Chain A
């Protein structure tokens, strides 16, 4: 499910890529945003949740307080920023959220589980394009305590439930080098109440499939072997995750949201600067990261395609 190029958050600001804490403070603090793919993506999410609820939603009981807080926060944000599509009203302890795009409403009594049929995060996530994760901020670190995750890039929510921040990142090559991941965790633990930070993470997906969980790797992973010189521009998509970290003021936990965008190479190369940056990034990508991101299998086809396009367009590096 690709997005229009104008709405695509191109991730590279330089010609080389290295892991860095590329987070920036957001003003105003937003945890969710909308694109014109809203309706299709919500529909896809709902289908995935219907078919594989256990895979897409997990929570520990102690996350409930933060889930309530996150739901209220998200509904508030939607109503404030997109008043033509959403409204959110409060009467005493009773709330009513209306989603005019879907013709739906959610009513609940705050912190009263008997007033809702699903867990709060599982309700909120059905109205936004983002995947939603609650990271509990405990005295000895951050732990993944709840999530609604429909569009992961090759990881399993069930596996990382209850896991600490550093262990979640074990598979990422070089991530402990110079204590990078330790520094990131300390950075997150210092985020102040109501502050939101944003960063972009990127990878590549074959086809415009948003849902690439570890659980179904056997189905989508093999597509990487089908890339040829002829189909690379159409099949290979740059996948960008805009990730936001927001400190929930009541529980002090972190709401981590992931908005995933896909753009095919054919669409991407229309922009000369993007083409150039993607080329140099892939060129200098270390082998272990190329392997981790699954690019190694078709890197030759990819490089040839980008080189050919650069020369056709007469762009020098």
Chain B
């Protein structure tokens, strides 16, 4: 079979450390190719080289057998290479067509030929089952739909080779299945796809071949057949076996820690985002929140950390009322928060790791004395946490923006989980983490709850919810549809997630 992409001996060095070290990568035409590796292995870097965002120090790239130099994304697109990043780059108040037309030249000279583009987009959307309405405004779309807009945009620009960097991290299982349907259709159409993912089930389900990176080096390329197992992939990635199943000890909860009654709040557009939300979390309990993204999860977390005002209801922690308290009070009362948007909220990207690890407690006695920061203690703390959470970086002062996605997430986790919290509000805590780190974080959440903390766990990954939670609440349109026991079935949860109320709803 012909190769759509051949990358030969690609080396990319950042500050003397090789993120890619003589990596070879071959993509067959008309195939779906998985790119695997632990956090910081160099997957994104390799793909950024292919998409023209980085120039490798050495190595050659061939597209359809032709040696090319890709010095910008524009060049990549002209060669038929498209890339969908994990976060989208869409202009929210504009429509789908308008977003796709941005940066394209019109065939009608100075005038926009919106109608023609719209027709073409509609046809393209039909052909690949993207199910998009070109006139819809971006902000009205779900995350999954926005992702499809990015794919449509790449296809419209003539992409024959599509790179998807952790596309399913933000999707619900259903949305992920839809995405895979689209990818299969593209494969049948002769297009080639590169898929980066940490979710091995997905890789096994859809890809034809995998390439595995470890520490910037190629460790293997293999066909994926019906016989391939998760274990095969992990031992390639990590170089050893990883435990997949661990036991959740039986319920042994204590006194009520967090109590939320009839909570209401508005979203950024001023519309009601939380309606009459009531629940409680006991010491030692993990309360999972299932639900499609955008049904009030973000607002719930913000209300519970003082970042968003409530319009009604009350929040009590250990019997103390916290309504209208400042974020500082919530922090001081021991509420840790792993926010959904790590770049905008959770991190100061231009500061070093050490500083990001003390973002919330730099003025406390351990890290500053008489108003001056204690750099020795700050560095020690960073060294300890980097070791404990396996944060891969050149040093404690490496700027967070220079870390790989998974390692950025680990910085937040290390900071929040090491604060001896009373309550942990974890919004998508394992998003973007590799298997090893995911297991570690889940273990850590169980450990903290065993020590008596209450955990509020929000995740798009139902499996994660089922694995960790003692009880499972389902959020739909800002309301709790029901709170189920830990033995709830996926079907039951799925119905509630879709807004269908069932009979046996347990009231908390």
Q: Does A associate with B in a complex?
A: no
Residues in chain A within 8 A of chain B (CB atoms): none
Residues in chain B within 8 A of chain A (CB atoms): none
